């Protein structure tokens, strides 16, 4: 009997039950999906880093390291393993593609993960193990011959295998290129034997065995302890980069941290709205069933059985919603986390297995327990008293006379406004939930669309306007002299720079020295305007200014690696930069006696002749194309948020609108009896929704701006972006929210045509 009644009740309140299931599914799905994304990424990253034995530290030297240097590092107490390591950019013969040619002397550190072909052979004399992504994009297969050029010389080998590598997890040439472009840039590993075979041709300026610029180390030592030990072992100050300071590790783990931040804000908002709406709706449904509960009690059903029956509704809704939510969560996670999806264009991993964090299942269980308890408490309240008490229909609590109603302003209001105001005060929970849903919708829309505005402004400022050149020429700093580089820059009507790393406190930052004549490179100030490099001081990026608590007029000291010299510079201003760097003019650097080597030229010339002074040429188009890919990745996330916000708004407002209609059924029947037309009653229902929408928008706009500001600080601080929200974002967000509210209001208002005045008014109070 109760089973049949359950089915009839589900059909009677099908709109509410379906909306609650959708809300739970959406809330659980978004919560799980966002957390599946970062947790799966973390687990899969751990796999590739472990399989390729990703190094903890990288010891750098422009003079190279001998075998004795490696042995000295290996002898340090706490060092597990180490390898000499080399990576140089080469060009594919007959093409402009660039391949980072790599040698790890001990493949047990900074190694590779084989995807296809022969295992790596450390004794191979002509084998090349090539990035599988580059091979796929360029039609290269195992067994093909590949010729790479470096300084006008050629290296030919056979592709023995296709690989992935932790060192090139995010395969970009430098920090100016945000996204990998495997059509034009990849990596390859060769054996130390093959490297030695080409030493006489390529490394003529080297004497002895110091061919490797890097020693990569596996150790559990802290950076401070390791740096101190390395400096003692090598008897000089060295540049040491931790894995946190490499692009592959820092950016990949940055994605994990960004995912954690996103998973702790927006999905929680979805979940909170879904649960709170579910609580309010379940209570109202139980209240509507009060007469049915009294009838069952009068027929002899025990309170315990009635309680189980009505508690089952909440449990069923929770379980079905959770089941669909898990499916939505996995779907959302896979949409982002798959090799051909948004994340696959950025990070090159061999495995893309989805994992649910342990707390995801705990939250899922707690949600169902909580909803079941709410269902239990709701029906227990209706069972209080005798069967006769339970048979009386539910009546809202008596409304107290408000002081507001005694004011002249209130008395001057029309009937509809007074009626809606009284209803809002009578049903505070419903009104609050409607307001909460609208605010949530606005926060998601303003935050999501505002992120698009911010990124577009960032692209315009840093790339369209800041990069005022067509080609970036990377020079061979080992052979070219500064005077020769300056002459070459003048020949191409370009500006030049010298970039190196220096020690600031306990970390490495970039030192960038520029000679600007042709306005090829521009520097953004703290605002949106560009500044001109003066000759009376250095400029620090916003991150350094914040971390060191310095600004214009202050001083800052740093040391070149391998030297005990300390340079103290006056800070002339603060810039916004992609990299953590100190920037100055060549004139100011010369006045301080800073030794530097010119390594980059920026020019608009497109006809650049091959030269043994030039390593490679990077085009502005390649940089812009990578940024377009970055925007595509971001737009996927924004699209999902906007769609979810609209769906959330529709479901929440419709559910609460139906609840409002049900609660005011007798009142509307009374209005019909006294002569109100359906259109007038409908306008009363719609107007209350629109009032709450206006209030929700007024709260939601600044809340959305605040959330966006927080997300930019938490997720994109390394890009030093200025928050930008255009008028179109506010307009679209407001119109979408208003549109959703109006459509839902019209849907609910149509129901008043079906009001049965006789049955509604004959019920005993």
Residue of 718, 664, 410, 716 lying closest to 547 (CA atoms): 718
Q: By the 8 A CB rule, do 461 and 526 touch?
A: no
- Evaluate if residue 648 carries a pLDDT over 60: yes
Look at 678 and 371; give whichever has higher pLDDT: 371
pLDDT for the residue 495: 92
The answer, yes or no, to whether residue 202 has pLDDT greater than 50, is: no
Spatial distance between the Cα atoms of 715 and 700, rounded to a whole number of angstroms:
21
Q: How far apart are CA 349 and CA 340, in angstroms?
A: 11
Question: Are residues 581 and 258 in contact, defined by beta-carbon separation less than 8 angstroms?
Answer: no
Where residue 386 falls among pLDDT bands split at 50, 70, 90? low
Residue 553 buriedness (CB in 10 A; 0-12 / 13-18 / 19+): exposed
**Mean pLDDT in residue range 248-263:** 82
Is the separation of the CB atoms in 183 and 136 below 8 Å? no
Which tokens is 328 given?
């939505």
Q: What is the pTM of this model?
A: 0.75
pLDDT score of 158 = 92
H or E segment and range at residue 531 = strand 530-531
Residue 566 tokens read as 């300390």
Q: Of 706, 239, 716, nearest to 459 (Cα)?
A: 716
Instruction: Name residue, tokens 């190694």.
Output: 111
The whole-angstrom separation of Cα 540 and Cα 572 is 8
Evaluate if residue 39 carries a pLDDT over 90.
yes
The DSSP code sequence of 539-570 is: EEEHHHHHHHT--TT-EEEEEETT----EEEE
What is the per-residue pLDDT across 150-189, written as a single tens digit (0 to 9) for each?
Answer: 766 678 889 999 999 999 998 887 766 667 888 888 999 9
Give dist(CA 448, CA 453) in Å, integer: 9
> Which sign does the torsion angle of CA 603, 609, 611, 617 carry?
positive
Tell me, what's the pLDDT at 6? 67
User: What angle (nearest 5°) sits at the alpha carbon of residue 42, between those of residues 40 and 45?
Assistant: 105
Distance CA 623, CA 467 (A): 10
**279-318 tens-digit pLDDT:** 767 766 776 666 777 777 777 777 788 778 778 878 888 8
Cα 693 to chain center, whole Å?
Answer: 29
Q: What angle do CA 313, 314, 315 make, to 5 degrees?
A: 90
Paired with 58 in beta bridges are 216, 241
- Report the pLDDT value the prediction gives residue 118, as an integer from 0 to 100: 93
Strand duo 153-164 + 239-242: pairing: unpaired
Per cent of the chain over pLDDT 90 is 18
Kindly list the distances between the CA atom of residue 753 and the CA atoms of 16, 395, 683, 750, in Å, as whole numbers in the listed order.
Answer: 19, 23, 13, 6
Nearest Cα residue to 214 out of 99, 121, 113, 110: 110
Please state, in angstroms and rounded to a whole number, the distance separating the CA atoms of residues 496 and 490. Answer: 9
3-class DSSP state for residue 58?
Answer: strand
Tokens 């939510």 belong to: 325
235 has a pLDDT exceeding 70: yes
Using one digit for the tens of pLDDT, what is the confidence trace for 679-730?
Answer: 776 677 777 777 788 888 899 899 888 888 877 776 655 566 778 888 888 9
- Cα 553 to Cα 536: distance, rounded to the nearest angstrom: 11
239 within 8 A of 503, measured Cβ to Cβ: yes
Give the pLDDT confidence score for residue 206 in this predicted structure. 45
Is the predicted pLDDT of residue 216 greater than 90, yes or no? yes
Please report where in the chains the tokens 């030192």 appear, as a residue.
511
Neighbours of 314 (CB within 10 A): 26
The vertex-475 CA angle with 469 and 476, nearest 5°, equals 170
Closest CA to 40 of 259, 247, 248, 244: 259
Q: Which sign, positive or negative, has the C-alpha torsion 750, 754, 757, 759? A: negative
Q: Which of 83-87, 180-184, 572-576, 687-691 has the lowest mean pLDDT?
A: 687-691
**Structure token digits, residue 146:** 């590949």
- What local confidence, expressed as pLDDT, does residue 159 receive? 93
d(CA 699, CA 44): 40
Q: CA–CA separation, 124 vs 221, rounded Å?
A: 34
Q: State yes or no: pLDDT of 514 exceeds 70.
A: yes
């Amino acid at each position: 009997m109760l089973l049949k009644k359950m089915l009839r009740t589900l059909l009677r309140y099908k709109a509410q039950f379906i909306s609650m299931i959708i809300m739970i599914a959406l809330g659980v799905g978004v919560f799980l999906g966002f957390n599946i994304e970062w947790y799966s990424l973390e687990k899969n990253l751990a796999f590739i880093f472990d399989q390729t034995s990703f190094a903890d530290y990288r010891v750098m030297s422009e003079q190279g390291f001998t075998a004795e240097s490696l042995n000295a590092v290996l002898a340090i107490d706490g060092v597990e393993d180490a390898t000499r390591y080399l990576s140089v950019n080469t060009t594919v013969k007959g093409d402009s593609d660039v391949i980072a040619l790599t040698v790890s002397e001990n493949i047990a550190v900074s190694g590779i993960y084989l995807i296809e072909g022969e295992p790596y052979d450390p004794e191979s004399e002509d084998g090349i193990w090539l990035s599988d992504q580059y091979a796929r994009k360029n039609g290269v297969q195992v067994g093909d011959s590949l010729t790479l050029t470096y300084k006008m010389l050629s290296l030919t080998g056979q592709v023995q295998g296709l690989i992935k590598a932790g060192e090139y997890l995010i395969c970009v040439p430098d920090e100016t290129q945000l996204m990998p472009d495997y059509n034009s840039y990849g990596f390859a590993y060769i054996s130390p034997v093959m490297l030695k075979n080409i030493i006489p041709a390529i490394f003529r300026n080297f004497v002895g065995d110091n061919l490797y610029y890097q020693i990569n180390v596996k150790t559990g030592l802290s950076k401070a302890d390791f740096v101190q030990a390395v400096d003692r072992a090598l008897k000089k100050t060295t540049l040491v980069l931790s894995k946190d300071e490499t692009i592959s590790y820092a950016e990949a783990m940055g994605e994990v941290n960004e995912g954690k931040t996103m998973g702790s804000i927006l999905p929680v908002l979805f979940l909170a709205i879904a649960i709170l709406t579910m609580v309010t709706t379940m209570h109202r449904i139980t209240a509507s069933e009060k007469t049915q509960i009294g009838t069952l009690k009068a027929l002899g059903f025990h309170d315990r059985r009635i309680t189980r029956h009505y508690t089952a509704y909440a449990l069923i809704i929770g379980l079905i919603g959770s089941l669909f939510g898990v499916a939505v969560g996995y779907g959302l996670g896979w949409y982002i986390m798959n090799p051909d999806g948004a994340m696959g264009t950025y990070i090159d991993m061999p495995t893309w297995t989805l994992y649910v964090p342990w707390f995801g299942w705990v939250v899922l269980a707690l949600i169902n327990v909580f909803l079941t308890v709410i269902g239990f408490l709701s029906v227990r309240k209706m069972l209080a008293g005798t069967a006769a008490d339970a048979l009386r229909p539910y009546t809202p609590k008596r409304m107290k006379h408000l002081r507001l109603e005694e004011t002249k302003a209130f008395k001057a209001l029309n009937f509809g406004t007074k009626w809606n105001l009284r209803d809002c005060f009578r049903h505070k929970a419903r009104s609050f939930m409607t307001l909460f849903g609208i605010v949530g919708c606005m926060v998601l829309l303003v935050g999501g669309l505002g992120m698009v505005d911010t990124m577009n402004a960032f692209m315009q400022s840093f790339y369209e306007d800041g990069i005022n050149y067509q080609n970036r020429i990377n020079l061979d700093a080992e052979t070219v002299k500064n005077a020769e580089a300056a002459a070459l820059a003048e020949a191409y009507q370009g500006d030049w720079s010298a970039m190196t790393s220096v020690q600031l406190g306990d970390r490495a930052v970039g030192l960038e020295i520029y000679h600007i004549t042709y306005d090829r490179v521009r520097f953004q100030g703290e605002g949106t305007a560009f500044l001109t490099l003066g000759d009376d001081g250095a400029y620090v990026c916003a991150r350094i200014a914040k971390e060191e608590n310095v600004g214009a007029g202050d001083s800052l000291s740093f040391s070149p690696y391998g030297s005990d010299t300390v340079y103290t510079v006056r800070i002339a201003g603060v810039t916004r930069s992609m990299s953590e760097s100190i920037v100055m003019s060549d004139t100011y650097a010369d006045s301080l006696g800073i030794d530097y080597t010119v390594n980059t030229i920026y020019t608009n010339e497109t006809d650049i002749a091959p030269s043994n002074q030039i390593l490679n040429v990077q085009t502005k188009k390649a940089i812009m194309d990578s940024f377009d890919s970055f925007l595509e990745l971001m737009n996927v996330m924004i699209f999902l948020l906007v769609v979810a916000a609209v769906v959330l708004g529709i479901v929440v407002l419709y559910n609460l609108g139906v609840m409002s209609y049900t609660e005011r059924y007798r009142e509307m029947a009374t209005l019909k009896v006294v002569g109100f037309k359906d259109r007038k009653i409908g306008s009363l229902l719609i107007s209350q929704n629109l009032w709450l929408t206006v209030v929700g928008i007024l709260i939601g706009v600044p809340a959305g701006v605040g959330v966006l500001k927080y997300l930019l600080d938490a997720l994109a601080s390394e890009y030093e972006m200025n928050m930008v929200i255009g008028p179109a974002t506010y307009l679209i967000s407001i119109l979408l929210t208003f549109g959703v509210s109006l459509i839902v209001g019209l849907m609910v208002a149509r129901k008043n045509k079906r009001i049965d005045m006789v049955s509604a008014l004959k019920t005993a109070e």
